[in-house]
Amino acid sequence: MAVTSTDLLMIERSGTLYKAPVSELPSGGGGGGAAGLTLLQQETITTNVAAIDFDLPSGYSRFRFIGHGISTGASTRQIRMNLSVDGGSTFITTGDHKVLIESPLYGSTTETRSNSSAVGFFLLQNTGLSIDNVGISFTVDISSDAEFFTALGFGSMPSAAGTILLRRDMTAKADLFRLTQNADSFTAGTMSLYGYKESV
């Protein structure tokens, strides 16, 4: 049976058992008050979708974004991260950010660098030439505040892997990001966003 936020649990404290709300659990456990990583949103793609939104709640200091088994549905696609500071009503469309993805091909000494400061989106992944691009995965640590937004991580696919280094100067805190492509739709995979709290 799943534990919910309204359940009372028996917790031992100083040798005494007493009933307490699940929010008092010392870690995770579904309680909203615990420090550490908490799953905020998970999207499993079962039908074609062109865009997916993820909220960045103000109660969290940092985030971890994980993609697993992502299919872009076609070769040579860009997985783009678009930022919003008004809950998705509008998105930043101009430059003023730095992007660097270093992608070495497997079995090759060739390294590809993708960088830009003239577009409004982050390039989260620049996919390879695999026909269907099934199996793209990434783990990205995100920091978002009113002065700057950073995303640092690592991504891989059947034919290559790359380091992701992204930064943008901000005038307001990003509270939502949208994942899109330069063409086509996402056709498969799971994306999960975790929030990190330094303390309760």
- What confidence tens digit (pLDDT) does each residue in 111-142 have? 655 555 666 777 777 665 555 666 788 899 99
**Domain count across the chain:** 2
Residue pointed to by tokens 């920091």: 143
pTM above threshold 0.85? no
Q: Are residues 103 and 6 in the same domain?
A: no
Residue among 122, 191, 174 nearest 151 (CA): 122
CA distances from 176 to 57, 88, 89, 181 (A): 8, 6, 10, 17
- Tens digits of residue pLDDT in 63-98: 999 998 888 877 777 788 889 999 999 998 876 666
Q: Are residues 99 and 4 in the same domain?
A: no
Give yes or no for residue 166 having a pLDDT over 60: yes
DSSP three-state, residue 156: strand
Least confident of 8-17, 32-41, 80-89, 143-152: 8-17
1 falls in which pLDDT band (50, 70, 90)? very low
pLDDT of residue 110: 62
Strand partners for 139: 66, 154
CA distances from 147 to 45, 152, 154, 174 (A): 33, 17, 24, 10
Q: Are residues 11 and 70 in the same domain?
A: no
**What ranges make up the beta strands (E) of the chain?**
8-13, 16-21, 36-45, 52-55, 62-71, 78-84, 97-104, 111-116, 122-126, 136-144, 148-157, 160-169, 176-181, 188-197
Query: In the predicted model, what is the mean pLDDT of residues 163-179?
Result: 87
Q: 68 with 155: CB under 8 angstroms?
A: no
Q: Are residues 98 and 8 in the same domain?
A: no
59 falls in which pLDDT band (50, 70, 90)? confident
Q: Are residues 137 and 45 in the same domain?
A: yes
Q: 143 with 196: CB under 8 angstroms?
A: no
Query: In the predicted model, what is the mean pLDDT of residues 58-67?
Result: 89
Q: Are residues 5 and 55 in the same domain?
A: no
DSSP three-state, residue 23: helix
Higher pLDDT, 168 or 63: 63
Query: In the predicted model, what is the mean pLDDT of residues 33-52?
Result: 87
Give yes or no for residue 4 having a pLDDT over 50: no
Q: Which two tokens stand for residue 72?
A: 């872009």
Query: Which structural domain, as residue segments, surrounds residue 182?
Result: 35-197
Give yes or no for residue 193 having a pLDDT over 50: yes
Q: Are residues 29 and 53 in the same domain?
A: no
Q: Are residues 14 and 45 in the same domain?
A: no
